[in-house]
A = this chain, B = another copy of it.
Amino acid sequence: MPKQSDIDRVFHALGDPTRRAMVETLGSGPASVSALAKPLGISLAAVVQHLQVLEESGLVTTEKVGRVRSCRLEPKGFRVAEQWIADRKSLIERKFDRLEALLSEEPTPPSGDEP
């Protein structure tokens, strides 16, 4: 089970549109820092800062070979976010089910109480 601080880090990381754009770029395969920077129109330094956040959140891993750092998506962080959302959704739907059961007043309810 992921710790609270893991959840905090992942959602904080995904909260920024620039970082999400980087994640989307990485969706089509590993990329270097400058390749990530190009479509964003911001400085390399800014990208590096975002990468640090993404790495600490477990959404991205990087590996430096020679003078280029290669970045790729990491499933771990995504599972954390996915799980949290799935948990909330299941709660909503459980309520919905109960509501439906109440509203639909079936002709043959579990325990008939109509006249």
Contacts and interface: CB of A to CB of B under 8 A. Distances in A.
A14 B14 contact: yes
Nearest to A12: B15
A106 B85 CA distance: 38
Given A14-B11, A15-B15, A89 B93 contact: no
A73 interface: yes
Main secondary structure of the interface of A (DSSP, over half): helix
A29 interface: yes
A43 interface: no
A3 interface: no
A24 B84 CA distance: 10
Tell me which of A78, A79, A87 has the highest count of chain B C-beta atoms within 10 A of its own C-beta.
A78
B78 A88 contact: yes
Contact of A17 (B8, B79, B82): B8
Contacts of A71: none
